[in-house]
Amino acid sequence: MNSLPLLSLIVFAPWAGTVVLAFVGRSVSASTNRALALLFSLSTLALALVVLGSFDPHAAGYQLVERHAWIKALNVNYHLGLDGLSLLLVLLTGIVSPLCLLASWRVERCPRAFGMLFLLLQGAALGVFLALDFFHWFIFWEVSLVPAFFLIKIWGGPGATRAAYQFVIYTLAGGACMLLGFAALYAATGTLNFTDLAQLAATGQLGPKLAGLGHFWPQVVFVGVFLGLAVKVPLFPFHTWLPPAYAEAPTGVSMFLTGVMSKMGVYGFLRILWPLFPAQLHAAAPCLLWLALGGVVLGAFAAMKQTDLKRMVAYSSINHLNYCLLALFAVASATKPDAAAAALSGTLLQMFNHGLSAAALFACVGILEARAGGLRGLDDFGGVRTVAPLFAGFCGIAMFSSLGLPGLNGFVGEFLIFRGVFGLAPWAAGVACLGLLATALFLLTFWQRVFHGPVAAGVAAFRDLDRVEFLTLLPFVVLMFLFGVLPQIVISVFNPLVTAWAAHLP
Amino acid sequence: MTLSAEKLWFIPALPLAAAAVGALMPRSGRAIAAGAAIAAMLAAFLVSCVALSTALADPAAKLVHNFAWFDLGTSALRLGWLLDPLTAFMCVMVTFVGALIFIFSLGYMKADENFKQFFCFLSLFAAAMLGLLVANSLLLLFICWELVGLASYLLIGFWFHKPSAAAAAKKAFITTRIGDLGLLLGMLWLYNSTGSLLFFDGGAGVLETAALGSLAAQFTAGGLAVSTAIGLLIFCGAVGKSGQFPLHVWLPDAMEGPTPVSALIHAATMVAAGVFLIARVYPLMSADQVLAHVPLHALTVVAFIGAITALMGACIAVAQNDIKRVLAFSTVSQLGYMMLALGVGSWVAAIFHLLTHAFFKALLFLGAGSVIHSAHHEQDIRRLGGLRGPMKVTFATFAIGMMALSGVPFLFSGFWSKEAILHAAHGWEVSQLPFYAALIAVVLTAFYMTRLVAETFFGKARSDAAGHAHESPATMTIPLVILAVCAVLLSLLAWPSPWLQHQLDPSAHSEPDGISLMVLSIVLVALGLGSGWAIYGRKPRVSETSADPLATASPGLIAFLAAKLKFDELYAATFGRLNAASAAFANFLEVWLWGGIVTLLARLGEFTGLVNREADERTLNGGFNSVSEKVRGTGLAYSRAQTGDVHGYLRFIALGFVILVLLVVMGGAK
């Protein structure tokens, strides 16, 4: 057992940053506040790399576990642990969060409060990825909504208030369903621990115990938990909160919402729903495949119709996240270890890669928006590549990463998802191809209207990237190339885990 | 000197490094970027020559080197390099033609402010193209395939400030991507059926006997062999990339790119990648040939698509007035010939034509570039004319290219390769229709090329731009001369002995040439040349507005051909509309259905909240008051987003915890 509680440090370092900013921030300058926030945000990456150094991908089960009795009367433990999936998402959070703060460097309105709330949000997300007891997992899950709400409402665009309410209430409603589901689970089993519950499910005791509450309870609980997660991802058609929230949020927060928070839902599917309710998921899979396909195809087609660039990128996020769920549902629908390993690897890779490419795209739209004084319509620009070639290059790379061009990070994940889904449900892979085509169409339309053509009237005075913007985008672009050419770097973190999953398909 | 398969990656890595150098240079680093690109290409040419000599030492051998790319489950996903005569010949051609076109670009792009970027993109293209050639894995081939698509996109849209260029780039990318989705599905199917994507892997590869046998022994729902279905899906990719009917529509528009790009990518190399792909997976494409009672053989489709494309492209080329578009449709038509050859069973003839065509079509495009460059970017042949005098080298080399393309007998390489294709088509047992289509295309090819040369170089100058034309600089004319020499010398590949055929496919026995067929094709070429000269050469056009003799004779037909058979209009009216309608439908669902349900639920919540509050106030009036108010607030906020505060919702969470605790107590009591 490691003497240093590394995982607690990972979770609480950003929150410590919030406290520091609260007490110290008042007396120092705005830029010191920004720097402090960035520093605390970077703690995740630094600690995650330390963890990566000692992480053994081949070891079964959780590592660096911290487990302490918390509320004995309720059998609630403070229980943190990490496997390849958690580590992947902690790494992603570590990479994306500081870049979100860099992208928000120009936020003039109360940067201290912005930094505090952002660090709160970051810590909550990390808590979700590391907690193994539903009790505090759910606290992290719901607490993340509070800073997100204020970040959207206060620093967002003109429609931010409405979007923030919709976002919070929709997610809360989903959360309430999940809470009730877990309340029933607790009533039936007396534990809220994910590992214990998964053990019960694996040995076939969970279903009968739930059925002990009443005949329909296994299904009811499944639906409750499912709804909570489906809203969060979001699975089509529980996604209507997403486009306004992503569009109205300030750039840095949009980046975090899509880069990290959207992964919380997929994480929940993999960590909770699938291990706990394999039979129910299997039964529902044929239906759910259609929902995921709806997100893939209709999401991409809806993106084509958007004239607000942020909404367009938001819809492309729906499309990309539904690929993850498509693969998972395909795995749940049939038992085929080879294809399942590919599909699950693809899902995990896609989570990671989407985090990078979607966040980078939001950063690019934010840069456009800042240049154009808040305009971000598809037709508000033209010829940007002529006046800002470096920016155009970076944005182009992010765009091609998002549409799955080989050589950049997005391709490998999508290829593996398609490979897996084809093996498990070939027709679904065929239908999903439409999403690939539509994605190329709307992203190239975006590129053509904004960057190509004659220089539009308002664009002539645009400057190219400044130093902060350059530093924001450069890590994204470098990582896109790196993980596109050498995906093994990422895959090695989770491949043994995924292999084990595929070998013991429930 | 020999080259092991392990080191084959040198060939694509050299231009890739040059591309990286170009990308990292500042805009002023013109000389370094161009120098690196040309040096890398020449070096890659030398390595390719070594590779060729290695491959020819034992033409039947497949030298492979496979390696793991990443872990996948209990095994790994492997990629690999492959060296055989097919790869080696292609590499030599691409690097040689590529280097000449790079040199030509020095002069052609001299005045462009993005000169450095141009060489960066060209190098990127070359790297991807060479990677495609040396791949021993369908996945690696697909990766490079997409990357040449990217390079093509960037280069077609190189003058991106022109809306037409930006639109053409997008059209090319999307149209080829449609085909690529077929290729992707074919690849997935292949992977799923065989568990591998390596072509050759010591007996376990997908192009080796075991896998082919099992693929031909399984059948799909419609009675097709699985190998047929996979082959046809892979062929979709080739249709897109090689501009075959019905996905040929992007290729003429691609002429918006700078002319060296048209020569390198859209004539000599990238568009031939589809032909190469089918030649590479030929064992798979022909695996179903052993089956007699299947509704369809994959190669039959290939042959008919090729024949249709060859004839269609030649017809349309007759009525085009833009010098580059005539050549573009000629490319479509010639690629159709290659597909036809593949389809009728002679992949060797297809590759032979691919090689000769690469040289003479690059020559023709660069000649056109030389004309356009000196005539101040005038591309309309009606406004050119009389260039034979001021541009002697360009004229002479262009004429050689034209004769090679037309198939003028004996001296020119195009004659021999076309002859091989006609011979193969004649011998096809399934149908003679493709053969007849190819014969008609022979006449038309000779005809439109004569027209092009007559209009461009003969008569007198019909515009100021043409009047002031002068010969291009040496960086442009020297590549023309070298390519012209090659257009003649490549005849040696087939004559006096069919050397290339023996190298590519040592197992094939060479059949005696049908003399009567050769005579027939010579007569047809003469017919095309003669009629072309009679109509356009004897009485040259006087001014740019004088009527085209053919258009006078048959205005409707020529207008229809000039409008490219209205394919663009047809697609805009069908697929374009379908796409727009789908997007509108998806958006409609977003706004009304999904959004509507949410609004409805919100209203319902609001109503419940209201009822609840009334009930509370009149009866309970206690701790639950705040709760119901929040429920009401929820509904209100949802529908109108006017009221409500987060503390309330946090209390909502607290309520959840209360429920939890209650359940715990209940659970404890049990």
Closest CA to A256 of A85, A93, A42, A44: A93
pLDDT score of B511: 62
Mean per-residue pLDDT for B469-484?
A: 87
pLDDT tier for residue B642 given thresholds of 50, 70 and 90: very low
**In a mutagenesis test of the A interface, which of B603, B660, B661, B662 is the best target, namely the one with the most A β-carbons within 10 Å?**
B660
Search chain B and give the residue with CA nearest A136: B657
Q: Which of B69, B142, B656 sits opposite A179 (nearest CB)?
A: B656
Average pLDDT over residues B109-125: 89
Answer for the pair B351, B279: CB distance below 8 angstroms, yes or no.
Answer: yes
What confidence score (pLDDT) does residue B445 get?
93
Contact B585 A491 (CB under 8 A): no
Whether residue A466 lies within 8 A of chain B, CB to CB, comes out as no
Q: What mean pLDDT is predicted for residues B305-317? A: 93
A307 touches chain B (CB under 8 A): no
**Distance from the Cα of residue A127 to its chain's centroid:** 14
DSSP output for A344-359: HHHHHHHHHHHHHHHH
% of chain B at pLDDT higher than 90: 38
pLDDT greater at residue B667 or residue B286: B286
Give residue B663's pLDDT: 57
For residue B549, how many other CB atoms are within 10 A of its CB?
Answer: 14
A339 in contact with chain B, both atoms CB, cutoff 8 A: yes
Q: A254 φ, ψ to 5°? A: -55, -45
**CA–CA distance, B186 with A202 (Å, rounded to integer):** 37
B637 touches chain A (CB under 8 A): yes
The pLDDT mean for chain B works out to: 85
Query: Dihedral of the CA atoms A283, A284, A290, A296 (nearest 10)?
Result: -120
Contacts of A74 in chain B (CB under 8 A): 661, 664
Instruction: Report d(CA A296, CA A303) in Å as an integer.
Output: 11
Pick from B239-243, B313-317, B363-367, B580-584: least confident: B580-584
Q: What's the confidence (pLDDT) of residue A70?
A: 84
Q: Who wins on pLDDT, B666 or B135?
A: B135
Q: How far is C-alpha B419 from the geometric centre of its chain's CA atoms?
A: 25
Q: In angstroms, rounded to a whole number, what is the distance separating the alpha carbons of residues B548 and B458?
A: 15
Residue A330 contacts residue A421 (beta carbons within 8 Å): yes
List, in sequence order, every beta strand (DSSP E) within B85-197: none
Pairing of strands B75-83, B63-72: antiparallel
Residue B39 has pLDDT above 90, yes or no: yes
Task: Give the pLDDT of residue B643.
Answer: 39
CA distance B629 to B624: 9
User: What span, in angstroms and rounded, lies between the C-alpha atoms of A62 and A65?
Assistant: 6
What is residue B661's predicted lDDT score, i.e. its pLDDT? Answer: 56
Task: Give residue-wise pLDDT tens across range B487-498.
Answer: 888 887 877 677
Do B170 and A444 count as a contact with CB atoms less than 8 A apart? yes
Between CA A455 and CA A467, with CA A461 as vertex, the angle to 5 degrees is 115
Of the candidates A493, A162, A150, A189, which has an alpha carbon nearest to the alpha carbon of residue A345? A493
List the alpha helices (DSSP H) in A375-460.
Answer: 384-387, 389-402, 409-424, 426-451
Interchain CB distance below 8 Å, A418 and B188? yes
Residue B210 contacts A, CB cutoff 8 Å: no
Residues of chain A predicted below pLDDT 70: 1-2, 506
- Sequence-distant (6+) residues with CB within 8 A of B130 are B11, B12, B15, B44, B91, B94, B95
Which of A337, A437, A454 is the closest to B161 by Cβ? A454
Range 149-208 of A in CB contact (< 8 A) with B:
149-150, 161-162, 165-166, 168-170, 172, 175-176, 179-180, 182-184, 186-187, 190
Residue B652: list chain A partners with CB under 8 A.
172, 176
pLDDT at B509 (0 to 100): 62
Distance CA A313, CA B251 (A): 30
Question: Binning pLDDT at 50, 70 and 90, where does residue B669 land?
Answer: very low
DSSP states along A434-456 = HHHHHHHHHHHHHHHHHHSSSPP
Say what the pLDDT of residue B662 is. 60
- Partner residue facing A487 (CB), from B70, B641, B646: B70
Supply B340's token pair: 């036809």
**A117-121, B158-162, B565-569: which range is least confident on average?**
B565-569
Q: How far is it, in rounded angstroms, from Cα A178 to Cα A290?
A: 23
Q: 């508000």: which residue's tokens?
A: A380
Dihedral sign from CA coordinates of A44, A47, A51, A53 = positive
Residue A370 corresponds to which amino acid?
Answer: A
Burial class (CB in 10 A: 0-12, 13-18, 19+), B622: exposed
Q: Which residue has the higher pLDDT, B264 or A315?
A: A315
- DSSP calls for B146-163: HHHHHHHHHHHTTTTTSH
DSSP for B14-46, please give it: HHHHHHHHHHHS-TT-HHHHHHHHHHHHHHHHH
DSSP 8-state assignment for residue B586: H
Instruction: State the pLDDT at residue B647.
Output: 47
Q: Who contacts B111 (Cβ-Cβ below 8 Å, separation ≥6)? A: none
Percentage of chain B lying above the pLDDT 70 cut: 90
Residue A109: per-residue pLDDT? 84
Label each residue of B312-370 as H, E or C. HHHHHHHCCCEHHHHHHHHHHHHHHHHHHHHHCCCHHHHHHHHHHHHHHHHHHHHHHHH
pLDDT at B614 over 80: no
Q: Quote the pLDDT of residue B621.
A: 54
Q: Would you call B73 an interface residue with chain A, using a CB distance cutoff of 8 Å? A: yes
pLDDT confidence of residue B545: 78
CA–CA distance, B633 with B613 (Å, rounded to integer): 11
Q: Do A342 and B72 touch (CB under 8 A)?
A: yes
Q: Looking at the predicted structure, is the pLDDT value of residue B541 above 70? A: yes
Which residues make beta-bridge pairs with B380? B322
Query: Mean pLDDT in chain A?
Result: 90
**DSSP for residue B512:** P
Query: How far is Cα A478 from Cα A485, in angstroms, rounded to an integer?
Result: 11
Residue B3 has pLDDT above 90, yes or no: no
* Between A264 and B291, residue with greater pLDDT: A264
Residue type, B6: E
Q: Measure the CA–CA gap between B322 and B254, rounded to whole angstroms.
A: 13
Which of 528-567 (B) contact A at CB < 8 A? none
Question: How many CA atoms lie within 13 Å of B63's alpha carbon, on the beta-carbon side?
Answer: 23
Q: What are phi and psi of B64, to 5 degrees?
A: -130, 155
What Å distances lie between residue A447 and A60, A311, B72, CA to CA?
A: 45, 15, 34
Q: How far apart are CA B598 and CA B601, in angstroms?
A: 5
Judge whether A26 and A112 are in contact, CB under 8 Å. yes
Torsion angles phi and psi, residue B387, rounded to 5: -80, -5
User: What distance in Å separates residue B112's CA from the closest CA in chain A?
Assistant: 13
Q: Which amino acid is at A62?
A: Y
- Report which of B99, B161, B168, B173 is spatially closest to residue B130, judged by C-alpha positions: B99
Model confidence at B620, pLDDT cuts 50, 70, 90, reads: low
67-126 in chain A: CB under 8 A from chain B: 73-74
In this predicted structure, what is the pLDDT of residue B469?
Answer: 81
Candidates B111, B98, B110, B92; CA nearest to B37 is B98
The reported pLDDT for the residue numbered B670 is 39
Both tokens of residue B111? 């005045």
Q: What's CA A315's distance to the chain center, in Å?
A: 14
pLDDT in tens, B379-412: 888 888 778 888 888 999 999 999 999 988 888 8
Q: What is the pLDDT of residue B646?
A: 47
Chain A residue with Cα closest to B163: A453
Band (B568; pLDDT cuts 50, 70, 90)? confident
The label of the residue with tokens 């800002």 reads A388
Q: Are A132 and A11 in contact (CB under 8 A)?
A: no
Higher pLDDT, B160 or A73: B160
Give the C-alpha separation, A408 to A353, whole Å.
9
The confidence band for B631, taking pLDDT boundaries of 50, 70 and 90, is low
Identify the CA nearest to B273 among candidates B143, B425, B423, B104.
B143
Nearest Cβ partner for A146 among B69, B72, B646? B646
Task: Note the Cα B617 to chain centre separation in Å.
Answer: 73
